[in-house]
Structure 1
Amino acid sequence: MKKIKIDTEYIKLDQLLKYGEIAQTGGHAKFLIKDGHIKVNKEICTQRGKKIFRGDIVEIEGEESLIIE
């Protein structure tokens, strides 16, 4: 698990994937989200602009997890 600290109230899912170095580009983030490879709090999320708040857990392809602080 990788912990990601944010200084704002929330971060959008596609931005988080780039910030957390999961996706190299916005297009890559869009592909991962659109194809159902991302779970937010154990539910598949296909919304690029989904707001991610502190305490949320983002899972990538069931392998890597990001915990938002």
Structure 2
Amino acid sequence: MTTGPRTIDVPVRLPIKLGQFVKLSGLAETGGMAREAIDAGEVTVNGTTLAHRGHRLAAGDVVQLAGAAPAMRVVDAAGL
């Protein structure tokens, strides 16, 4: 479900770590690719670059890969 012109809602079970979400949302094809993108500073959460793949995301957080559109919004699947 899209919530804006460039943001897609991704329902997940919370809590979820940044690395897991990057892979699950399709921003990266594999966990290794997710790790590389995060370590390289190519992933932002709510507009801030994060380099810690263990960062726990919250409902409403917006995750984006540099140069990739659309952004992905964390949605708590339990609330659906």
Q: How high is the TM-score relative to the length of structure 1?
A: 0.88
Bigger Cα Rg: 2
1:6-64 CA distances to partner (integer Å, 9 max, x unpaired)? 232x2101100111111111110011001011011111000011101101111110532
Number of aligned positions between the proteins: 68
What is the aligned partner in structure 2 of residue 4 from structure 1? 10
RMSD: 1.2
> Separation in 2 of the partners of 1:53 and 1:62?
23
| Distance in structure 2 (CA, Å) of the matches to 1:44 and 1:5 | 22
Q: Which amino acid aligns with 2:73?
A: I
* Partner Cα distance (1:62, 1:11) in 2: 23
Percentage of matched positions with identical amino acids = 29
* Unaligned residue ranges in structure 2 (runs of 5+): 1-6, 76-80
Structure 1 pair 63–25 and aligned structure 2 pair: CA distance change class (3 A): closer
